[in-house]
């Protein structure tokens, strides 16, 4: 992508036959270049492999299509006075997202209905100094401006997005202070935020998917040459679609269908790799680099992964026949722009002059957002996170010890003075979880199950052979031992069984993020809470059965 840069990509690009790429001009400014030098391409290298790099004009990105067409044309004409290198005419370099021309708010009417595009094209064609050309032709007809070495950097907007909310607020304060003092354009390259990879620390869900993808890439690369099929390579490439790993102004990791597409490809790839090189049914490895070894329980149909932190919850539950990770959800995180949702209309910036406001400056609400919708999660959104209530005090069960034995995982935890044991095992398409404790109080466990249809019409609960409603609704059932969850979009179902009658509360789990239409609530998962009254020794055996629906 043009928005981020690491020099380590140069050899891979050069070896792939790519001779030039586009990146934001901010990258060049961070290397100490002056704006007047950024009217053509430069050359860089890494390990002796070279590639040419074009700087995309930030000034043009913010003018097209938001400024009036005549002003945008006049600005481009003003660049003709800049000095090019010997034998080169100055170039105004533009490369940007097509959604700004009709998908972003107000842009369709502005670009097409009110004639911006027509006026802009006619203005360019009528100009005596502007000559439009494809980048391919410009590269063939001109020479490099010289050598450049770009730092590891993300463009300025992403530098803010990739920071945790408190740091992002401080960064924003520095930018606004520099703007108020009139030195922002001069000093912006030296007021830097984070880099793209910080998203992998901001969102553990992205980090887990990223490290799983790298592991599969390594497995694929280790195959004998004759076994590396094109379908395997294509599935790996599909799992690397970067939109699902980060979040900026809109969407990204907050969109379940993007994450699902990545996991869909990874699970298919893993299943095919297992067919070539079988794995043991139980394995441990520190995949996410947190210093603890995750536990993988695997059958031909199902894989459950337990992270041995204080929750000892499942962070992955993948069905190979359905190519679905039922633990693929997202916690509620604090985003720096949530402050705008709290302020409401007061956060609106006034747009002066002609043209339209950029989506960066617009505050809208697609859904009603309440304060509790913005409260960050303090615990995992995986499957099987326990709590203990004693004398109306609810405490999380915190696990400190994990044992792997006999094809199962035993976790020992405490909540105050109450001890809880949890055992995971997998057989065929069945996940079994046993909970044991002794005490007087209330034991509960929370599961967040990612269902592709979310709150759509294709999803429904099944209780005692009847359908009370869909996944977008909230229900409470008492003394239940069997609950079905059917997703006809996926073509699969989960059946939950309990050896002890349980009270079950279900509700949709939502997050709040920005979209082109404004702040919106997105359903990420079904949240199930199972509750038992305990008086003395207690044991319950739970089973999750994952299967395809009959067609």
Looking at the structure, tell me whether residues 392 and 318 fall in a common domain: no
The whole-number pLDDT of residue 365 equals 81
Range of the domain at 528: 367-548
Nearest by Cα to 210 from 247, 243, 239, 251: 239
Within-domain flag for 343? no
Chain centroid to CA 11: how far? 27
The whole-number pLDDT of residue 88 equals 67
Looking at the structure, tell me whether residues 320 and 372 fall in a common domain: no
Q: Where are the beta strands (DSSP E) in 144-301?
A: 153-154, 282-285, 294-298
Per-residue burial over 125-136, b if 16 or more Cβ lie within 10 Å, else e, is eeeeeeeeeebe
Question: In the predicted model, what is the mean pLDDT of the chain?
Answer: 93
Segment 119-175, tens digit of pLDDT? 999 999 999 999 999 999 999 999 999 999 999 999 888 899 999 999 999 999 999
Within-domain flag for 210? yes
Active-site residue numbers? Answer: 2, 97
Integer Cα distance of 469 and 486 in angstroms:
11
Integer Cα distance of 410 and 425 in angstroms:
9
Looking at the structure, tell me whether residues 391 and 510 fall in a common domain: yes
Domain count across the chain: 3
Last residue of a domain, one of 262, 295, 325: 325
The whole-number pLDDT of residue 544 equals 98
Looking at the structure, tell me whether residues 237 and 292 fall in a common domain: yes
Estimate the crossing angle of helix 256-276 against helix 204-221, to 10 degrees: 30
Within-domain flag for 217? yes
> Phi then psi for 188, rounded to 5 degrees?
-55, -40
Looking at the structure, tell me whether residues 373 and 520 fall in a common domain: yes
Looking at the structure, tell me whether residues 535 and 400 fall in a common domain: yes
Within-domain flag for 160? no
Task: Provide the 10 A C-beta neighbour count for residue 38.
Answer: 23
Per-residue burial over 177-212, b if 16 or more Cβ lie within 10 Å, else e, is ebeeeeeeeeebbeebbbbbbbbbebbbbbbbbbbb
Length of the chain: 551
Within-domain flag for 349? no
Q: Which residues are 423's β-sheet partners? A: 410, 434
**What's 98's domain CATH number?**
3.20.110.20
Within-domain flag for 312? yes
> Phi then psi for 93, rounded to 5 degrees?
-105, 120
Last residue of a domain, one of 154, 179, 210: 154
DSSP conformation class of 278: -
Within-domain flag for 186? no
Looking at the structure, tell me whether residues 26 and 110 fall in a common domain: yes
Looking at the structure, tell me whether residues 291 and 401 fall in a common domain: no
Task: Provide the 10 A C-beta neighbour count for residue 268.
Answer: 17
**Alpha-carbon distance values, 407 to 214, 298, 411, 413 (Å):** 26, 10, 14, 20
With a cut of 70, which residues of the chain have pLDDT below it?
82-88, 345-362
Q: Which residues are 519's β-sheet partners? A: 365, 514
Last residue of a domain, one of 96, 126, 154: 154
141 contacts: CB under 8 Å, gap ≥ 6: none
- Looking at 246-348, list the stretches that DSSP marks H as alpha helix, in order from N- to C-terminal side: 256-276, 338-343
Q: Phi-psi category of 461—alpha, beta or left, where left has phi over 0 and alpha has psi -120 to 50?
A: beta
Enter the tokens of residue 275.
Answer: 């067919």
Integer Cα distance of 340 and 353 in angstroms:
23
Within-domain flag for 15? yes
Nearest by Cα to 504 from 429, 438, 449, 424: 449
- Quote helix, strand, coil % in the chain, to nearest 5: 30, 30, 35
Looking at the structure, tell me whether residues 146 and 45 fall in a common domain: yes
Looking at the structure, tell me whether residues 225 and 308 fall in a common domain: yes
**What's 387's domain CATH number?**
2.70.98.10
Per residue, the 3-state secondary structure of 398-444, as one string, reads EEEEEEEECCEEEEEEEECCEEEEEEEEEECCEEEEEEEEEEEEEEE
Integer Cα distance of 100 and 67 in angstroms:
12
Looking at the structure, tell me whether residues 379 and 312 fall in a common domain: no
Looking at the structure, tell me whether residues 293 and 232 fall in a common domain: yes
Task: Provide the 10 A C-beta neighbour count for residue 86.
Answer: 6
């Amino acid at each position: 992508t043009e928005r981020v840069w690491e020099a380590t990509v140069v050899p891979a690009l050069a070896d792939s036959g790519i001779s030039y790429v586009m990146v934001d001009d901010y990258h060049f400014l961070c290397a100490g270049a002056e704006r007047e030098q950024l009217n053509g391409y430069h050359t860089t290298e890494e390990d002796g492999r070279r590639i040419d790099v074009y700087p995309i004009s930030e000034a043009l990105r913010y003018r097209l299509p938001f400024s009036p067409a005549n002003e945008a044309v006049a600005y481009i004409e003003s660049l003709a006075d800049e000095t090019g290198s010997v034998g080169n005419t100055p170039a105004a370099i533009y490369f940007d997202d097509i959604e700004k021309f009709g998908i972003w708010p107000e842009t369709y009417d502005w670009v097409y209905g009110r004639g911006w595009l027509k006026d802009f094209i006619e203005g360019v064609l009528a100009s005596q100094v502007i000559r439009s050309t494809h980048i391919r032709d410009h590269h063939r007809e001109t020479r490099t401006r010289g050598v450049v070495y770009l730092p590891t950097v993300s463009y300025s907007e992403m530098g803010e997005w990739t920071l945790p909310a408190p740091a992002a607020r401080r960064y924003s304060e520095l930018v606004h202070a520099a703007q108020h003092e009139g030195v922002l354009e001069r000093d912006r390259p030296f007021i830097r935020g984070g880099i793209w990879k910080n998203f992998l620390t901001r969102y553990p869900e992205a980090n887990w998917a990223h490290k799983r993808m790298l592991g599969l890439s390594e497995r694929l690369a280790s195959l004998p040459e004759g076994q590396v099929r094109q379908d395997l390579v294509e599935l790996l490439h599909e799992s690397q679609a970067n939109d699902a790993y980060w979040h900026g102004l809109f969407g990204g990791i907050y969109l379940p269908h993007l994450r699902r597409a990545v996991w869909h490809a990874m699970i298919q790839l893993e299943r095919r790799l297992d067919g070539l090189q079988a794995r043991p049914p139980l394995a441990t490895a520190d995949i996410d680099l947190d210093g603890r070894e995750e536990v993988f329980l695997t059958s031909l149909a199902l894989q459950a992964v337990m992270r041995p932190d204080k929750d000892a919850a499942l962070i992955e539950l993948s069905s190979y026949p359905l190519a679905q990770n039922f633990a693929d959800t997202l916690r509620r995180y604090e985003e720096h722009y949530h402050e705008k949702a709290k302020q409401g209309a007061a956060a609106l910036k006034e747009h002066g002059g002609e043209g339209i406001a950029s989506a960066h400056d617009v505050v809208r609400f697609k859904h009603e957002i309440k304060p509790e919708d913005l409260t960050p999660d303090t615990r995992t959104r995986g499957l099987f996170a326990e709590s203990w209530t004693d004398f109306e005090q609810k405490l999380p069960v915190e696990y400190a010890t994990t044992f792997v034995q006999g094809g199962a995982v035993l976790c020992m935890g405490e909540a105050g003075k109450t001890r809880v044991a949890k055992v995971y095992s997998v057989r065929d398409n069945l996940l079994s979880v046993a909970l044991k404790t002794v005490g007087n109080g209330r034991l509960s466990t929370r599961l967040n199950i990612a269902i592709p249809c979310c709150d759509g019409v294709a999803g429904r609960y099944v209780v005692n052979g009847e359908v009370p409603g869909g996944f977008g609704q909230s229900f409470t059932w008492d003394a239940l031992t069997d609950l079905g969850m059917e997703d006809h979009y996926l073509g699969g179902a989960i059946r939950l069984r309990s050896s002890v009658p349980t009270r079950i509360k279900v509700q949709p789990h939502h997050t709040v993020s920005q979209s082109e239409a404004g702040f919106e609530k997105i359903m990420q998962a079904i949240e199930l809470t199972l509750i038992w009254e305990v008086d003395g020794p207690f044991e319950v055996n739970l089973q999750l059965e994952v299967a395809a629906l009959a067609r």
